[in-house]
Amino acid sequence: MFQNVQQIQDFIRQNGIAFLDFKMIDLRGRWKHLSIPAARFNEDIMTHGIGFDGSNYGYAQVERSDMVFLPDITTAVVDPFVKAPTLTMIGDVMVIDHPANRPFDQYPRNVAKSAIAHMQALGVADEMIIGPEYEFHVFDGMTRTLRPDAVGYRLQCSESVWSAGEFPNNGFHTGPHDGYHADLPGDRTFDLRNQICLELAKWGVDVKYHHHEVGGSGQLEIEVELGEMTRLADATMAAKYVIRNTAAANGMTATLMPKPIYGEAGNGMHVHMLLRKNGQPVFYDPDGYGQLSRTAMHFIGGLLTHARSLCAITNPSTNSYKRLIPGFEAPVTIGYAMANRSAVVRIPAYVKSPDKKRFELRNPDAMCNPYFAYAAILMAGLDGIEHEIDPAGRGWGPFDFNLFDLPADERKRLGHLPASLDEALDALEADHDYLTRDGVPDAAARDARQNAPRRRAGDQPHPAPSGVRPLFRSLTEPYWPRIPSGVRGYACRSPEV
């Protein structure tokens, strides 16, 4: 939209913009922001940036915490969720240095860029193309109790069958596990989804389609078009912001929490992916399994080799592992197959075009920091290419049958995703060298900001005694233990849902 400061200033004047808002990403993958009067925006800000306290983002020690935010004007968009006309944009973080400031290599956007640079240095591809699917729930409201003597919450959802005995009530409800592609009048969030998608278009996020998901109590999905990895990481942040704020503007609560309702389908963030080199598809081979090339299979081999450790980054909350259980189309077994939603890696059978031939990783959820998650996925796949890891040779498939139907003794012989965050963190501590090849940043210095007791999540009672943080604080702010400090480049807490 904008390429230089003059264009921004002209837009400010012509549209009565009152404020410029700058959004930064913290280590947990949340947007934070600061604003300035629009009249203050000038070339100096684009050269020297805006100073802030990096220690409150987990970027620096308090005694050396001065850092600088540098706006990226190409991401600017008018924010519809505030009263005063406001132009908002993301940007990058710089370390104060002499004679000139330098990029902060631990910043999430820069970690993603470093992973892309590693891919290009290997000569494997020029672009990593991804397409995430955003699953989420929308409720009419919620209440919660968090006291030393009691912990509880209640969800309100007029669409759900549990509201059938309450007024006001039009008699149309969506049953458990019966929400997939539900139509009007049962699909009560159709207008809301339309509004979200129209707003996403203004933020540069191209929607592929949207629909009601399987969960009968307000579970929805928006899938976006394929795009370059770092741009789609930006788009993921925008999507979460727009989803949550559009719902709030309509008096509702949206959550991307992986498992907000027991016994219903959970919310994943399946990530479709492919590589391109010189504009040509790297993953296509008409004679390969699923029309995938050997390079694609080796990429899958890397993902499956590191699947357990990846979970600590792609599924970084305690609630994430309430979703990764059999029976709800969430993967549990480490394997791959064509059109099989019970496998960690699924090859969509409906994709026939060579330039879009791809596969999806099904375990991630939207609690992740998207920059770290997408970078980690790429690094795992590149490790598989470098070491020519054959997933079939490792016994990971192809599994062209429902893995949930396997007898228990056969399931035991297969590899499985972690059953808890604690298991995922143990896996990451044991397997993380693949994440830091070729200069991808080392984030061990951030440990000072990541010292929450790791094991507390599994040990604390409910209700929590005075002074102990409850595991479930709200739908918008659960509790996450830390990612272990030894994991270089990715030591972070996960974001709000």
> Which residues form the catalytic set?
53, 133, 135, 213, 221, 270, 341, 360, 362
The C-alpha angle 132, 486, 362, rounded to 5 degrees, equals 20
The C-alpha angle 35, 54, 88, rounded to 5 degrees, equals 25
What is the distance, to the nearest Å, from the Cα of residue 39 to the centroid of all Cα atoms in its chain?
35
Q: Which residues contact 220 (CB under 8 A, 6 or more apart)?
A: 135, 136, 137, 138, 189, 193, 210, 211, 212, 213
Alpha-carbon span 369 to 367, nearest angstrom: 7
3-class secondary structure per residue, 364-415: CCCCCCHHHHHHHHHHHHHHHHHCCCCCCCCCCCCCCCCHHHCCHHHHHHCC
Q: Spell out a b/e string for 424-450, using b for 16 or more CB atoms within 10 Å of the CB, else e.
A: bbbbbbebbebbbbeebbebbebbebb
| Strand residue runs (E) in 140-218 | 141-147, 150-156, 207-212
3-state secondary structure of 341: coil
What is the 8-class DSSP label of residue 477?
-
Closest to 435 in 3D by CA, of 366, 483, 495: 483
Peptide bond before 463: cis, by omega within 30 degrees of 0?
yes
